[in-house]
Amino acid sequence: MIRIWGRLSSINVQKVVWTAVDLELDFTRLDAGGPFGGLDTPEYGLLNPNRLIPVLEDDGFVMWESNAIVRYLAERYGKNKLWIDALPARAKADRWVDWQATTFAPLMMPAFIGLVRTPEEERNELAIADSLAQCGLLINILERELEQRPFLGGEEFSIADIAVGAQVHRWFHLPINRAPSPALRAWYDRIIHRPGAVAALGQPVA
Ligand SMILES: N[C@@H](CCC(=O)N[C@@H](CS)C(=O)NCC(=O)O)C(=O)O
């Protein structure tokens, strides 16, 4: 039995849910974190000593760290689907999964928290502007990449598109004016109607 712990408003939970649904896995998601709480119990501490979401339980095998979970699910259940077997193609796709977590997510965090989760009168406008400027540079990188190929990993949809797709979903839902990025928008339109994306990202961005 597969269980995914975590509220669906978390991007890290969204990536895992998107992966599980696209792999057609039978799983249960349990709300935890944010308003649902539950991360400070002794039981949860045994699942994830960091007391963060998501956590995956797969028949007694416990995993935390969202992108590691995405890789695990894709390799275990997604051969010839979301998982690219051959190197170096896999490595080229895989770098985008790390890029989402180490570069894109932290740089977007001040803009996302500021514009989506903070009342207007409490916003740090300088931090938001800086974050948006940095994100603009990353969006240009994605635009150049997606002018050349349909998906981040090449010709096929892969976990690279899931990780970066969940982040780009947030970008397109920030209440800002955006410079046009037609290749990125076309890619987003290609991936956003997949069952996993609908299940993971179908609720309002919050
Ligand atoms: N690097 C970790 C980060 C996990 C993380 O920061 N999770 C946040 C939600 S996105 C969390 O658990 N926050 C506490 C809460 O939701 O109560 C991962 O990718 O899994």
- Parse the chain into domains and list their residue ranges: 2-78, 87-194
Number of Cβ within 10 Å of residue 127's Cβ equals 14
Query: What are the residue ranges in the chain where pLDDT is below 50?
Result: none
CB-based burial label for 153 (10 Å; 0-12, 13-18, 19+): buried
12, 16, 48, 50: which to mutate for ligand 1, most atoms within 8 A of CB?
12
The CATH class of the 2-78 domain is: alpha beta
**Predicted local distance difference test score (pLDDT) of residue 81:** 86
4, 5, 10: which to mutate for ligand 1, most atoms within 8 A of CB?
10
- As a whole number of angstroms, the distance between CA 163 and CA 197 comes to 11
**Predicted local distance difference test score (pLDDT) of residue 117:** 95
Q: With a 6 A CB cut-off, is 52 part of the ligand 1 pocket?
A: yes
CATH number of 87-194: 1.20.1050.10
**Predicted local distance difference test score (pLDDT) of residue 70:** 97
- As a whole number of angstroms, the distance between CA 35 and CA 15 comes to 20
